[in-house]
Structure 1
C-alpha cells in the first residue's frame, strides 16, 4: 500500500510520462503532415528536425518509464 506522499509522487511521474508520450505522438504526426504541406525547400529539414526531436524524446521517455516502473515496484 502506498502512502499519500508516494501517491502524489506517482501522480506527477505518470503525468510527466503522459505529456512526453503525447509530445512524441504530436511530433510524428506533424512530421507526416508537414511532409505534404510545407514548401519543398523546407520540407526535408522540417521533417528531419521533428523526427529527431521525437527520437530524443522517445529515448528520454523510455528511460523515465523504466525508472518510474522500478520506483513503483519498490512502493
Structure 2
C-alpha cells in the first residue's frame, strides 16, 4: 500500500469510526429520552432519534462495504 492509499484509508476509517460513534450516541439518547423526557415529547423524540440512527446505520453499512472492497484492491 503506497502513501496516498494509506492516507485515503485513514480518512475512510475515520469517517466510519465517527459514524459508528454517532449511531451509538443516538441509540443511547433514545433510551435516555424514553425514560426521562416529559410525556408529550417522549414518543416523537424516540422516533426521531431512532430514525436518525437507522438512516445513519444504513449509510454506515454501505460505506463499510465500499471501504472493505477498496481495501481488498489496495
TM-score normalised to the size of structure 1?
0.98
**Equivalenced residues, count:** 74
Segments ≥4 residues shifted beyond 2 Å:
none
Aligned equivalents of 2:25, 2:60: Cα separation in 1: 14
Question: Which sections of structure 1, spanning at least 5 residues, go unmatched?
Answer: none
CA RMSD of aligned residues (A): 0.3
TM-score normalised to the size of structure 2?
0.99
Residue number in structure 2 paired with 1:31: 30
Aligned equivalents of 1:34, 1:42: Cα separation in 2: 9
Aligned equivalents of 1:29, 1:62: Cα separation in 2: 19
Residue number in structure 2 paired with 1:51: 50
Aligned equivalents of 1:26, 1:72: Cα separation in 2: 27
